[in-house]
Structure 1
Amino acid sequence: MIRKLFLIASLLAPLPAGAEPLANKLFAAEKSPSTQESMPIGTYAKGCAAGNVELPETGPTWQAMRLSRNRNFGQPTLVQFLEDLSVTATKIGWKGLYIGDMGQPRGGPMNSGHASHQIGLDADIWMLKPASLTLSRKEREKISSVAVRSADQRSVTKYYSPQHAALLKAAASDPRVDRIFVAAAVKIAMCKTAKASDTKWLQKIRPIYGHDTHFHVRLKCPAGASLCQTQKPSVSDLSKGGNGCDETLAYWVSDAYLNPPKPKPSKKPAKPRPPVKSARTYVLADLPSQCAAVLSSR
Structure 2
Amino acid sequence: MTLGSRTRLSLFALGLLTALSAPAEAQTPAKELFGAEARPNAGPPQSIGFYSKGCLSGGMEMPKDGPTWQVMKPSRNRAFAHPTMIRFLQRLSGDAAREANWRGLLFGDMAQPRGGPMKDGHASHQIGLDADIYLTEMPTRRLSPHERDTMPLPSVIDKRTNHIDLSRWRPEMLKLIRTAAREPEVERIFVHPGIKEQLCKTAGRDRVWLNKVRPMYGHDYHFHVRIVCQPGSPNCQPQEPTGTGDGCDKLDYWFNVALRPPKPSAKPYKKPPPIFMSALPKACNAVLNAPDKGGAVMAASPAQSREPVAAALSDDFDTGAAPIPPAAPRLPAPPAAATAPAYAPEPAEALPMPRFRPAN
Q: CA deviation at 1:290?
A: 0.3
Aligned 1:86-101 pairs, distance under 5 A: 86-91=93-98, 92-101=100-109
| Partner SS, residue 179 of structure 1 | strand
2:76 and 2:149 map into 1 onto residues whose CA distance is 10
Deviation readout 1:36-60 (Å, 9 max, x if unpaired) = 1111111111110111100011111
- In the other structure, the counterpart of 2:302 is none
- Answering whether residue 77 of structure 2 is matched by residue 77 of structure 1, we say no
Q: CA deviation at 1:156?
A: 3.5
- In the other structure, the counterpart of 2:207 is 199
| Partner SS, residue 42 of structure 1 | strand
- In the other structure, the counterpart of 1:20 is 27
Deviation readout 1:12-50 (Å, 9 max, x if unpaired) = 442333432110000000000011111111111111011
Cα gap change, 1:93/1:32 in structure 2, threshold over 3 Å: closer, same or farther? same
2:129 and 2:70 map into 1 onto residues whose CA distance is 18
2:32 and 2:127 map into 1 onto residues whose CA distance is 16
Q: CA deviation at 1:205?
A: 0.4
Q: CA contact under 8 A between 1:95 and 1:133: conserved in structure 2?
A: no
- In the other structure, the counterpart of 1:287 is 280
- Answering whether residue 70 of structure 2 is matched by residue 63 of structure 1, we say yes
Q: CA deviation at 1:264?
A: 6.1
Deviation readout 1:193-241 (Å, 9 max, x if unpaired) = 2232x211100000111111110001111123210000113x4x33xxx
Q: CA deviation at 1:64?
A: 0.7
- Answering whether residue 38 of structure 2 is matched by residue 31 of structure 1, we say yes
- Answering whether residue 118 of structure 2 is matched by residue 135 of structure 1, we say no
- In the other structure, the counterpart of 1:166 is 175
- In the other structure, the counterpart of 1:245 is 248
Q: CA contact under 8 A between 2:80 and 2:128: conserved in structure 1?
A: yes
1:190 and 1:168 map into 2 onto residues whose CA distance is 9
- Could you tell me which amino acid in structure 2 is paired with residue 165 of structure 1? L
2:158 and 2:213 map into 1 onto residues whose CA distance is 19
Q: CA contact under 8 A between 2:53 and 2:116: conserved in structure 1?
A: yes
1:22 and 1:263 map into 2 onto residues whose CA distance is 33
**Counterpart selection for 1:227 from 205, 220, 235:** 235
| Partner SS, residue 253 of structure 1 | helix
Deviation readout 1:42-95 (Å, 9 max, x if unpaired) = 111111011110001111111110100000000011111110111122222222
Q: CA deviation at 1:10?
A: 6.0
Structure number with higher relative contact order (C-alpha < 8 Å, ≥ 6 residues apart): 2
1:31 and 1:107 map into 2 onto residues whose CA distance is 11
Cα gap change, 1:251/1:133 in structure 2, threshold over 3 Å: closer, same or farther? farther
1:170 and 1:159 map into 2 onto residues whose CA distance is 20
Q: CA deviation at 1:282?
A: 1.2
What is the alpha-carbon root mean square deviation over aligned residues? 2.4
| Partner SS, residue 217 of structure 1 | strand
1:162 and 1:81 map into 2 onto residues whose CA distance is 23
Structure 2: stretches of 5+ with no match in the other structure: 292-360
- In the other structure, the counterpart of 2:263 is 262
| Partner SS, residue 164 of structure 2 | coil
2:34 and 2:59 map into 1 onto residues whose CA distance is 13
Cα gap change, 1:158/1:282 in structure 2, threshold over 3 Å: closer, same or farther? same
1:244 and 1:259 map into 2 onto residues whose CA distance is 20
Q: CA deviation at 1:155?
A: 2.6
| Partner SS, residue 131 of structure 2 | strand
Identity %: 44
- Could you tell me which amino acid in structure 2 is paired with residue 155 of structure 1? I
- Could you tell me which amino acid in structure 1 is paired with residue 113 of structure 2? P
1:261 and 1:94 map into 2 onto residues whose CA distance is 38
Number of residue equivalences:
279
| Partner SS, residue 26 of structure 2 | coil
| Partner SS, residue 31 of structure 2 | helix
| Partner SS, residue 248 of structure 2 | coil
Structure 1: stretches of 5+ with no match in the other structure: none
Q: Structure 2-normalised TM-score?
A: 0.72
1:215 and 1:293 map into 2 onto residues whose CA distance is 32
| Partner SS, residue 251 of structure 2 | helix
Q: CA deviation at 1:190?
A: 1.1
2:141 and 2:97 map into 1 onto residues whose CA distance is 12
Q: CA deviation at 1:263?
A: 6.8
- Could you tell me which amino acid in structure 2 is paired with residue 215 of structure 1? F
